């Protein structure tokens, strides 16, 4: 064990420290590192002074409260938090330059031995700042990729070039799944030896220890007591593909009025999705409860969990649903296919395939034994994705590179 003066300084950098999968992964990592071995700091684009940034204001009060709780927990763990308001997800040249020079200044002052960046924007700016400051070890976790589904074609091509150039100064790139690594290799981001696969960990104990009054929870979600519930959770944004589940709902509700659809989350598409449901005449069977902190309790009322994402590094919400014993219907895209074994723990469908989603829902609706069997197999599979397993692999990577 190193004495305090010889602690290894590790700096994590991320744009949004919200309740998304990449931020939760970072939260578990910085809180789980051994404080007798590591001196941990976290740079985030979120404001840490109580004044929420532009994107945080788009979230609901309950989500913002949960973000503040994470910030408090990180500080109590002894992690030093540094807010950098110009480190935002939107492409704004002035903000990029301001954030870049601020990162150089902070890294020069802190002198970390490891800089570990998360997501694309923070990854590019943070890694080049670390390289300029001659940081010994530079690690990047993309948490998926931006090679399709996020930007216009010219912006995507630019990001691919930037990722290729930046990979040259990166010691290791952490992919969440083998498929995510394959996607990066297909776009020639870096040679295979630069990649390590470390899944995104889930705090499984939160789900194992949950006891929910399902009848009461259905009342809280304004669902009829005997309803069959198809649900999803995630930020309401185009790349998450919720519109395709809504289109499937239009086809299903006409024949099965006892099936209800729940979209848990907040985001810029909230109003558009509600309007679509109203115009389609299915609003009676659709619920938009916003973001919920008690994810396990909400998942407990779902009979089927659907994840219609168009681009996904791993799909942490899928693991959470599997822990709760739910059969999965998900897009056969990105790292999802490494999580969901089609026909065994769920059904994989083509991305943006509304008709395929509808058919899969009808199949599972008509087969309760299949739903139960898939749920059991999913629970068994989810055990491999614990936060403890992720932390062990990250610590091993740090020690290897040091």
In terms of C-beta distances under 8 Å and separation of at least 24 residues, what long-range contacts does 321-324 make, across chains too?
321/378, 322/375, 322/378, 322/379, 322/381, 322/382, 323/202, 323/204, 323/207, 323/208, 323/378, 323/379, 323/382, 324/207, 324/210, 324/296, 324/299, 324/300, 324/379
Give Cβ neighbours of residue 190 (< 8 Å, ≥ 6 apart): 164, 167, 168, 170, 173, 184
- Report the CATH fold assignment for 205-384: Rossmann fold (3.40.50)
The C-alpha R_g of the chain, in whole angstroms, comes to 21
The ranges of the chain with pLDDT < 50 are 1-3, 49-57
Alpha-helical regions (H) of 11-152: 21-32, 54-57, 61-76, 93-110, 120-132
Q: Which pair of tokens denotes residue 354?
A: 């509304």
| Confidence at residue 382, expressed as pLDDT on a 0 to 100 scale | 92
> What is the Cα–Cα distance from 327 to 314, expressed in whole angstroms?
17
Taking the mean position of all CA atoms in its chain, how far away is CA 255?
34
Residue appearing with tokens 């399709």: 148
| Confidence at residue 47, expressed as pLDDT on a 0 to 100 scale | 56
| Confidence at residue 3, expressed as pLDDT on a 0 to 100 scale | 44
What is each CA distance from 118 to 42, 115, 155, 204, in whole angstroms?
A: 11, 10, 19, 22
| Confidence at residue 95, expressed as pLDDT on a 0 to 100 scale | 78
Q: What is the pLDDT of residues 145-201, one digit of tens each?
A: 777 666 677 777 888 899 999 999 999 999 999 999 998 999 999 999 999 999 999
pTM summary value: 0.86
Provide CATH code, domain 4-201+386-401.
3.40.50.2000
Contact 171, 149 (CB under 8 A): no
User: Of 330, 328, 315, nearest to 377 (Cα)?
Assistant: 328
Q: Enumerate the CATH 3.40.50.2000 domain ranges in the chain, comma separated.
A: 4-201+386-401, 205-384
| Confidence at residue 1, expressed as pLDDT on a 0 to 100 scale | 43
| Confidence at residue 156, expressed as pLDDT on a 0 to 100 scale | 78
Q: What is the pLDDT of residues 243-300, one digit of tens each?
A: 999 999 999 998 999 999 999 999 899 999 999 999 999 999 999 999 888 899 999 9
> What is the Cα–Cα distance from 247 to 245, expressed in whole angstroms?
5
Contact 17, 63 (CB under 8 A): no
> What is the Cα–Cα distance from 2 to 93, expressed in whole angstroms?
42
| Confidence at residue 17, expressed as pLDDT on a 0 to 100 scale | 85
User: Of 26, 22, 67, nearest to 43 (Cα)?
Assistant: 26
What is each CA distance from 322 to 170, 188, 190, 339, in whole angstroms?
A: 34, 33, 32, 10
| Confidence at residue 381, expressed as pLDDT on a 0 to 100 scale | 93
């Amino acid at each position: 064990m190193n004495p305090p003066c010889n602690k290894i300084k590790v700096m994590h950098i991320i744009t949004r420290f919200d309740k998304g999968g990449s931020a939760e992964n970072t939260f578990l990592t910085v809180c789980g590192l051994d404080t007798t071995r590591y001196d941990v700091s976290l740079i985030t684009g979120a404001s840490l002074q109580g004044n929420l940034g532009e994107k945080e204001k788009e979230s609901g009060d309950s989500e913002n409260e949960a973000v503040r709780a994470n910030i408090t927990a990180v500080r109590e763990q002894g992690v030093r938090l540094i807010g950098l308001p110009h480190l935002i997800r939107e492409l704004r040249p002035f903000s990029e330059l301001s954030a870049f020079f601020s990162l150089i200044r902070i890294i020069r002052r802190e002198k970390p031995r490891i800089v570990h960046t998360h997501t694309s924007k923070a990854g590019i700016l943070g890694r080049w700042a670390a390289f300029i400051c001659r940081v010994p070890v530079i690690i990047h976790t993309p948490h998926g990729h931006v090679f399709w589904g996020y930007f216009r074609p010219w912006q995507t091509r630019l990001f691919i070039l930037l990722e290729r150039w930046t990979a040259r100064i990166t010691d290791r790139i952490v992919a969440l799944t083998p498929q995510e690594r394959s996607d990066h290799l297909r776009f020639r981001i870096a040679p295979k030896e630069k990649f390590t696969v470390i899944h995104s960990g889930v705090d499984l104990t939160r789900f194992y220890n949950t006891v929910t009054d399902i009848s009461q929870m259905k009342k809280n979600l304004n669902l009829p007591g005997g309803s069959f519930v198809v649900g999803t959770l995630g930020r309401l944004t185009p790349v998450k593909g919720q519109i395709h589940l809504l289109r499937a709902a239009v086809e299903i509700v006409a024949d099965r009025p006892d099936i209800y659809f729940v979209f848990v989350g907040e985001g810029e598409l909230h109003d558009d999705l509600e309007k679509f449901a109203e115009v389609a005449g299915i609003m009676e069977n659709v619920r938009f409860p916003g973001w919920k902190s008690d994810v396990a309790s909400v998942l407990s009322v779902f009979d089927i969990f659907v994840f219609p994402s168009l681009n996904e590094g791993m799909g942490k919400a899928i693991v959470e649903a599997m822990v709760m014993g739910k059969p999965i219907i998900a897009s056969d895209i990105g790292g999802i296919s490494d999580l969901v074994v089609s026909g065994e723990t769920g059904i994989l469908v083509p991305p943006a395939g509304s008709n395929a989603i509808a058919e899969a829902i009808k199949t599972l609706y008509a087969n309760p034994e299949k739903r139960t069997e898939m749920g059991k197999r999913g629970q068994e599979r989810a055990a491999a994705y614990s936060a403890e397993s992720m932390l062990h692999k990250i610590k091993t990577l740090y020690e290897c590179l040091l």
